[in-house]
Amino acid sequence: MAALKAADKDSRYAFIEFDVQYSKDRRIVVYHDNRMLRLDGSLSAIGNSTFAELSEITGGQIAAYDEVIGILKKKLNIEIKSRGDNQEDERLVDEIMADIQARKRTNDVLISSISSDVIRYVNRKYPDIATGQVFWLTSSTYLHFDSLTKKLYEDVSATRADYLLLHAANLHNIDDLLEFKPRGKTIVFWDFGDTMYIVHKDSSDRLWGDSGMRNFINYVRFKLASAFRRFTPQSKSMPPSLGPAEGR
């Protein structure tokens, strides 16, 4: 909760990303991992533990979706953490979407997932909300063949995702990604840190819910900020095609 509140107040970040999944008693939990091992030293799985048990394991630090959604004002990237059960995934999507629609926040929410089935379902049932398909390592990450990059875009077109959320390792293939990118498909790079970057190739590449004017203002802000940071190690490592930094 403290991290989410801090990100919401931090002017460096334009949106907040978090993962959602069910606890054993069907509470929607804001948590990335399937198990509590990495952060809390417990082998307990989120889906096999009640929310009360998860709260006890984390010393009350774990957050539930219904506790955070009402306090976050920035745009949101809500990732559906798929466990491979299509019925459960669809139920989770439906519950999240019912809440988002009731709050009238459809324009400032992106629904993302590593599961192509989830993205297909969202686009079929909720065509008005932006979607993002998450990729870590693909065949085109290190084998920079035109055909493999085109195949990546074909896969995204099949799910009708608006955004490709690519791990930063795919920056090795940035030239092909830019050359073959279809208009209306926006690239976002992420790693396991606290920042994501949206690539601006054309005017269709913008943060979900933003107007063209707002997108232009963000772009100018990023260019000005980059001018002040251009001698830092971080800015030297960033390719010039990257647009405004968007956080999570």
CATH number at residue 91: 3.20.20
Tell me the C-alpha distance between 191 and 74, whole Å.
21
Shared domain check, 62 and 95:
no
- Domain assignment of residue 94, yes or no: yes
Tell me the C-alpha distance between 13 and 221, whole Å.
12
- Domain assignment of residue 12, yes or no: no
Tell me the C-alpha distance between 109 and 87, whole Å.
22
What pLDDT, on the 0 to 100 scale, is given for residue 229? 67
Q: Residue 84 — left, alpha, or beta (φ > 0 → left; ψ -120 to 50 → alpha)?
A: left
Task: Identify the H or E element spanning 38.
Answer: helix 37-40
**Residues forming a β-bridge with 199:** 242
- The last residue of one of the domains, among 30, 48, 68, is 68
Burial-class residue 47 by CB neighbours within 10 Å (0-12, 13-18, 19+).
Answer: middle
- Domain assignment of residue 2, yes or no: no
Shared domain check, 239 and 184:
yes
- Domain assignment of residue 163, yes or no: yes
Q: Residue 169 carries which side chain, given as an amino acid letter?
A: A
Shared domain check, 160 and 84:
yes
- The last residue of one of the domains, among 49, 68, 87, is 68
- Phi and psi, residue 135, nearest 5°: -130, 140
Residue 82 token pair: 């798929």
- Phi and psi, residue 22, nearest 5°: -85, 140
Shared domain check, 231 and 193:
yes
Shared domain check, 227 and 147:
yes
Question: How large is the angle between the packed helices 116-125 and 86-102, nearest 10 degrees?
Answer: 40
What pLDDT, on the 0 to 100 scale, is given for residue 246? 44
- Domain assignment of residue 15, yes or no: no
What pLDDT, on the 0 to 100 scale, is given for residue 216? 82
Shared domain check, 44 and 84:
no
Residue 41, domain extent? 22-68
**What are the distances in angstroms from CA 210 to CA 119, 120, 164, 217?**
21, 23, 17, 10
Shared domain check, 225 and 105:
yes
What is the full DSSP assignment across 90-110? HHHHHHHHHHHHHTT-GGGEE
- The last residue of one of the domains, among 41, 68, 95, is 68
Burial-class residue 59 by CB neighbours within 10 Å (0-12, 13-18, 19+).
Answer: exposed
Strands 195-199 and 242-247, how do they pair? antiparallel
Per DSSP, 43 falls in state -
Kindly report the length of the chain: 248
What is the residue-level pLDDT of the chain in tens, covering all 248 positions?
999 999 999 988 889 999 999 999 999 999 999 999 998 899 999 999 999 999 999 999 999 999 999 999 999 999 999 999 999 999 999 999 999 999 999 999 999 999 999 999 999 999 999 999 999 999 999 999 999 999 999 999 999 999 999 999 999 999 999 999 999 999 999 998 888 889 989 888 999 999 888 888 877 877 787 777 665 554 334 443 444 444 44
What pLDDT, on the 0 to 100 scale, is given for residue 233? 54
Q: pTM of the entire structure?
A: 0.88
Considering only CA atoms, which of 144, 198, 195, 154 is closest in space to residue 174?
144
Q: How many CA atoms lie within 13 A of 118 on its CB side?
A: 28
- Domain assignment of residue 10, yes or no: no
Structurally, the chain folds into a number of domains equal to: 2
- Domain assignment of residue 167, yes or no: yes
Shared domain check, 173 and 82:
yes
Shared domain check, 152 and 57:
no
Shared domain check, 140 and 27:
no
Shared domain check, 139 and 28:
no
